[in-house]
Amino acid sequence: MLTAKHHGVATPDVLAVGIGGCDMALLAVAPRGESMTHAPLTSAALGAAWRAVDHLHRARIAHGSLTLEAVALEGGTPVIGDLGAASLGATDPRLNLDVVSFLYATAVEVGSEAAVAAALSGLGDDRLAAALPYLQSPALTRDQRRRVDDPDALVTELRDAVARITSAELPEPARLRRIRVQDLIMPLLSLVAASALLGMLSDIDFAAVWDVAQDASWAWIVVGFGIGQAVFFPDATGMLYATGYPLPLKPLVVLQISARWIGLAVPSAAGRVAMNTMFLRKYGVEPALALTQGVLDGLAGFVTEAGTLLIALVSSDLMLDLDTGDINWPLLLAIVGVLIVGAIVAVLRIERLRQSLLPALHKAWDMLWNLLRDPGRTFGLLGSNLASRVVLAVTLWCVLQAIGTPLPLVTVLVVTVATNLLAGLVPIPGGIGVAEAVLTSLLTIAGLGAEEAFTAAVIFRIATFYIPAGEGFFAMRWLENTGHL
C-alpha cells in the first residue's frame, strides 16, 4: 500500500502496524469511500478507476485480485484496497491478469462495449491489447464465472471488442490452467501406488532377483517378446468391430502401437481418445461413434475379463491362497451400496450433472444396442478382447518358463486378467509401478517366491509395455507422415 501510495495511487490510510505474536502481524487501515459494487458505474468513474490501475501497474505492482470489491470511490477518486494478494516487481503476465480480472468485473455490470471503452481511456491501446492473450476463462476465479449464466460468451464478447477497438488481431491464447481438486487426484494416487510398491520392494532380496535374471533362458524371453508383439492385432480388430467401419488393418495395427507411447506421455485417457478420434474421422466414422468406440471396446474388455475369471475359477481346480478372513463383507457391501445410491441421487438431484451425463449415457446406450443387434460385431469384439488377453497370458507363461518357475496356462491367464483389472483401478499412466506391484503380488499368491515373481513381472512389463512404448513413438510419426493422423 505504501509503495502504491508513493507512486500516486490512492490507497487506504495506514493507522497502525504491530506484532500480535510470534507469527502474526497486525495492520489497521482507515476505510475510504464506497465500494464500486455499490456506487454508480459511470464512464467517468470507470475511466478514473482504470487510470488508477495504470498507475499501479507502472509501479510494477500487480493487485492479484482486482475486482470491483477492491476499489472504492471517495469523492470521485478511486481508492485501491484489498492488496493482500499483491506483488512488487510483478511480471507482465501478472499485470495482464489484473487487466483481465477488472475488465471482466466491469463488463458484468455495464456490458462489454462500455467496459472496453473505459479500459481504453485509462490504459491506452497498447496496454489493453497486451492483455488479449490472457482474456480467457481460466484467468477468472470461480466466483467471477458464477456471476453470469454464460461466462465463456462474455469472454468471447470482450475479446472481440478489445480486438476491434484496438485494431489488433486476435492472438493465440496464453497457456493458463487453474489447479482444480481433480488435478490433485493423480499425484495423490501416484503417491499411494509408490508407497505400496516401496513397501513390497522392501521385502525383496534384489541380489536374489539378479541371480534369477542371470539364470533366465533368453530364448524363452525372446519367444515371449515375439508373442507379445502379436497383441496389437486383436487390439486392432477390436477397434474394427467396435466401429463397424471398413478400416484398413495395417494403419489400425500401427495405431495400437502408437497408443502405448501416448499412454506413457499423456497422464490420462484424453491423449488416446483424441488420437483415436482423429484417426477414425479420417475414414468417415461419425463423430459420436469415434468418441465412444473406446467405451464399447473397454466394456467388452471388462466383460471378457470378468467372464474369463469366473469360468477359470469355477471350471478348473485353480486355487489362489487369498486370505479374506479379516474382510468385513457386510461393511464393504454397505459402503459399495451407499456409493451407488449416492451416485444415483447426485445424478437425479444435480441438474448440471444430469444434463451433461444423461445425454452421453443415452448415446452410449444407443451405440451399445446397435452393436448387440449385430451378432457378428458382438462376437468379433468379444473374441478380439479374449484373444488379446490370451496373447498376454502366453507371453507371461513364456517368461515364467524362462526363469524356471512354470505355472499352468489357466493360472497365468487368471493372473494376467486380474492384474489388468486391479491395476486399472488406479489411473496411473500406463499403470507404471502399479501393474508391477499387482502382478508380483498375484504371482506370489499363485505359488512363486517373491524374487521370482518380481523378476517375472519386470520382464513381462518390459516386453509388453516399455519396449512397445518406445516403438509407439516411431509408430505415431509414421501415422503422421502418411496422413493417418
DSSP-assigned states of every residue in 404-473: T----HHHHHHHHHHHHHHHTTS--GGGTTHHHHHHHHHHHHTT--HHHHHHHHHHHHIIIIIHHHHHHH
Helix (H) or strand (E) holding 80: strand 77-80
CA distance linking residue 435 with residue 8, whole number of Å: 62
Give the other-Cβ count within 10 Å of 139's Cβ.
22
Distance in angstroms (rounded) separating the CA atoms of residues 152 and 74: 33
As to burial, measured by CB atoms within 10 angstroms (0-12 exposed, 13-18 middle, 19+ buried), residue 65 is middle
H or E segment to which residue 29 belongs: strand 24-30
Taking a C-beta distance cutoff of 8 angstroms, is the pair 428, 434 a contact? Answer: yes
The segments of the chain whose pLDDT lies below 70 read 178, 180-206, 263-271, 287-294, 313-329, 331-332, 353, 356-358, 360-361, 363-364, 367, 423-433
CATH 1.10.510.10 residue spans of the chain:
2-166
Distance between CA 12 and CA 74 in Å, rounded? Answer: 11
Q: How far apart are CA 34 and CA 130, in angstroms?
A: 30
The sign of the torsion formed by the CA atoms of 246, 249, 251, 256 equals positive
- Do 68 and 109 touch, CB atoms closer than 8 A? yes
Number of Cβ within 10 Å of residue 75's Cβ equals 7
Cα–Cα distance measured from residue 368 to residue 296, given in angstroms and rounded to the nearest whole number? 7
As a whole number of angstroms, the distance between CA 106 and CA 104 comes to 5
Paired strand residues for 346: none
The set of cell numbers assigned to 115 is 467496459
Has this prediction a pTM greater than 0.75? Answer: no
- Helices (H) then strands (E): counts for the chain: 21, 7
What architecture is domain 2-166? Orthogonal Bundle (1.10)
User: 119, 468, 118, 52: which is closest to 260 by C-alpha?
Assistant: 468
**Residue 412 C-beta-side C-alpha neighbours within 13 Å:** 22
Q: What percent of the chain has pLDDT over 70?
A: 80
> Hey, what's the cell of 336?
459399495
Nearest-CA neighbor of 397 among 466, 445, 443? 443
Residue written as cell 491478469? 97
